[in-house]
Amino acid sequence: MNEIDYITPKNLEEVFRAVEKKKRKIKFIAGCTNVIPYMRGEAISPELLIDLSSLENLNYIREENGIIAIGALTTISKLTASEIIRNQSPILFSAASLLGNPLTRNRATIGGNLADASPAADMAPPLLALEAFVHTKRGEGEGREISLDKFFLGPNKTVLAEDEIITHITFSKPKDSARGIYIKLGFRNSMAISVVSIALMIEMEGKVCQKARVALGAVSPTPIRVYRLEKNLEGKEIDQEIIQECSVILKEEISPISDIRASAEYRKLATSVLFKRAIQEVLKGEKT
């Protein structure tokens, strides 16, 4: 690793003062489960590490007036232990339970997982399906509220400025009639990086799908919502024909790469299989 300096600001003011003063390459850190391997592999070479872990008030899970708010420093373990998450957003709960392993979950944070912007980030598909917003702060200004589907720009790239931090994530509590599922396909049980992951949420009225949200991980440069697929489900009775149509749309909408984990061709095939499995599971009626 190159020469680096390290500070632990205690509040946002200190963060932004440090950012202003130092004209060095900065990197915000929290759980460090990705940052340390990046630094050791020289994928990044920051000169100043600003450790956000000691910031107060960024570590919480709250439900207020139908909005669920999660502080950026909330660890994945904390999500898996939260009754609010388990009951109100089971797809986020199940994605959290499948992220890495108990050791990484104890350190990795929800804000870090999004800011890292891996195409395979486990938190992204469920939060996309939940239509989450990322709330940020930069300097003394008001801060931004960014819809998660506008947040990712490419592998490890987001709309965040270098000196902008995520403060919290919010989403509306899903309707009681909403059903959802998160499925992650990886090649081993532990520490698996997704080969394909899918988060699906639908609201049905009788046999008709009123609202559909479908998000995918690891099959495009960023985690994505599949709008065309959602439109093709909404307002319709979902039968085998529709599902078949959707799986064709899916293959057109994604642009996976071939890497050490899988070929592009395999990912396309696996995505359509996962989609079919997800929708059939959800239509069975269990609220997951």
Partner 1 sequence: MMKRKIVNFKVNGESREVLVESNALLVNVLREELGLTGTKYSCGTGQCGSCTVLVNGKPALSCLMLAVAVDGADIVTIEGLAKPDGSLDPVQEAFLDHSAIQCGFCTPGMVIMGRDLLNKNSNPSESEIQEHIKGTLCRCTGYTSIVRAIKSCGK
Taking CB under 8 A as the criterion, the residue among 16, 26, 58, 77 binding partner 1 is 77
Residue 53 in contact with partner 1, rule: CB under 8 A: yes
Comparing CB distances to partner 1, the nearer of 35 and 282 is 35
Q: Which of 14, 63, 86, 106 binds partner 1 (CB under 8 A)?
A: 106
Asked if 66 interacts with partner 1 (CB under 8 A), we say no
- Binding of partner 1 by 45 (CB under 8 A): no
In angstroms, the CA 173 to CA 190 distance is 30
Binding segment for partner 1 (CB under 8 A), chosen from 45-53, 58-66, 166-174, 223-231, is 45-53
Q: Are 194 and 185 in contact (CB under 8 A)?
A: yes
**Does residue 49 bind partner 1 (CB under 8 A)?**
yes
Residue 14 interacting with partner 1 (CB under 8 A) = no
Is residue 8 close enough to count as binding partner 1 by CB under 8 A? yes
What are the percentages of helix, strand and coil residues in the chain, rounded to 5? Answer: 35, 25, 40
Q: Does 33 bind partner 1 (CB under 8 A)?
A: yes
Task: Kindly tell me which residue out of 22, 86, 104, 211 binds partner 1, with binding defined by CB under 8 A.
Answer: 104
- Verify binding: residue 3, partner 1, rule CB under 8 A: yes
Contact yes or no for 218/263 (Cβ under 8 A): no
Answer yes or no whether residue 1 interacts with partner 1 by CB under 8 A. yes
- ∠ at Cα 177 (168, 88), nearest 5°? 30
Distance CA 122, CA 161 (A): 22
Q: Which residue, 4 or 273, has its beta carbon nearer to partner 1?
A: 4
Across the chain, the runs of DSSP E, i.e. the strands, are 5-7, 26-29, 48-51, 61-64, 67-71, 133-137, 144-147, 152-154, 157-158, 165-172, 178-185, 196-205, 208-217, 224-225
- Residues from 165 through 204 that contact partner 1 (CB under 8 A): 189-191
If one asks whether residue 6 binds partner 1 (CB under 8 A), the answer comes out as yes
Of the candidate residues 102, 141, 154, 235, the single one contacting partner 1 (CB under 8 A): 102
Using the structure block, give the residue that is written with the tokens 């990712």. Answer: 152
Helices and strands, counts by H and E, the chain: 11, 14
The answer to whether residue 103 forms part of the interface with partner 1 (CB under 8 A) is yes
Site residue total, partner 1 (CB under 8 A)? 27
Q: Which listed residue (10, 20, 36, 187) binds partner 1 by CB under 8 A? A: 36
User: Closest CB to partner 1 among 190 and 244?
Assistant: 190
Distance of alpha carbon 129 from alpha carbon 224, whole angstroms: 9
Q: What residue type is assigned to position 242 of the chain?
A: I
Tokens of 128: 């996309």
Q: Any contact of residue 86 with partner 1 (CB under 8 A)?
A: no
> How far apart, in whole angstroms, are the C-alpha atoms of residue 16 and residue 137?
9
Chain residues in the site for partner 1 (CB under 8 A): 1-6, 8, 32-33, 36-37, 39-40, 49, 51, 53, 77, 100-104, 106-107, 189-191
